Amino acid sequence: MGVTLWLRRFAWATLVANIGLIVTGGAVRLTGSGLGCPTWPHCDDGSFVPHGAMTINKRIEFGNRTLTFVLVAIAVALFVAARQHARETGRRDLLQLSIVLAFAIPAQAVLGGVTVLTDLNPWVVSFHLLCSMAIVGVATLFLHRIEHPAPAVPARGALLRLAWATFAAAWAVLYVGTVVTGSGPHAGDLHAPRNGLDPLQLSQLHADVVFLFVGLTVGLLFVLLATRAPTLAVRSAALLLVLEVAQGAIGFVQYFTNLPIVLVGFHVLGAALISAAVTHALLQVREPAAG
């Protein structure tokens, strides 16, 4: 019982820390601090820590880099707890997921280094953010698996296909959102390149995909209600819809107010929360729990 409690705590810490890393990474970009440390793995002057004048941009970028060590510490703790849990229960699925999460952190650090070494190439930055979103999804899956081992035969049918379509639409929204950002003013550095695409047309495409995502979520929620699905599945879909509406409102306001960094920062947070929420909603449909 004690091991399970610690496992759950470290799993929550993993989820929260990775969402926090996405937000701080957004802050690096929004403050133009992406090249505050102009090289990698060193910060500057052949040193891993900043040397010379400590500008605000250098502080922000170096601070974001040091968060990697916090994530590594949490990932190691999660692995140790998962290994002990596996010894006591015989379940190795959580141990395997903890290994995925543990290796994902340094892999993301290396990818972050590539973004610096490519002078914040917008396509590399986009992939870097999407990988962080994927880690949030895996962390959500880990939390779900603590109490709900994978069923031998998961649910099937039209409802599950609708849930998968909603999940796919969510990732289309996240991807197009990163491309929109790559065409806009928040490059992470004054001299960083843009992807050369039209921000107006991309924003329209992004809005269209968002409407599709919202429509699929509304449909999923109504079908869950109509079929008297378990309460947790209904609540999961409802929470996802609430996040989408809030995220959409922020998106529209930020677009018509010339992308103020505070609103864009909240939009980045919303994207991370949606990655977690849509994963949870899919799991609740695929593996419905009583209640």
> Which secondary structure element, helix H or strand E, spans residue 89, and what is its range?
helix 56-89
Q: What is the pLDDT of residue 57?
A: 85
* Chain region(s) in the chain for CATH 1.20.120: 155-291
Question: Measuring CA to CA, how many Å separate 100 from each of 30, 51, 66, 130?
Answer: 30, 35, 21, 16
The gap between the terminal CA atoms of the chain, to the nearest Å, is: 22
Percentage, residues of the chain above pLDDT 90:
69
User: Are the beta carbons of 164 and 29 closer than 8 angstroms?
Assistant: no
User: Are the beta carbons of 142 and 97 closer than 8 angstroms?
Assistant: yes
Phi, psi of 47 (to 5 degrees): -120, 145
0.95 surpassed by pTM: no
For the segment 94-140, what is each residue's pLDDT rounded down to a tens digit?
999 999 999 999 999 999 999 999 999 999 999 999 999 999 999 99
What b/e readout covers 161-200, taking b as 16+ CB neighbours within 10 angstroms?
Answer: ebbeebbebbbbbbbbbbbbbbbbebbbbeebeebeeebe
Fold (topology level) of 155-291: Four Helix Bundle (Hemerythrin (Met), subunit A) (1.20.120)
What b/e readout covers 252-287, taking b as 16+ CB neighbours within 10 angstroms?
Answer: eebbeeebebebbbbbbbbbbbbbbbbbbbbbbbbb
- Confidence category of residue 38, pLDDT binned at 50, 70, 90: confident
For the segment 252-268, what is each residue's pLDDT rounded down to a tens digit?
999 899 889 999 999 99
Q: What is the pLDDT of residue 41?
A: 87
Please state the rounded mean pLDDT for residues 81-98.
93
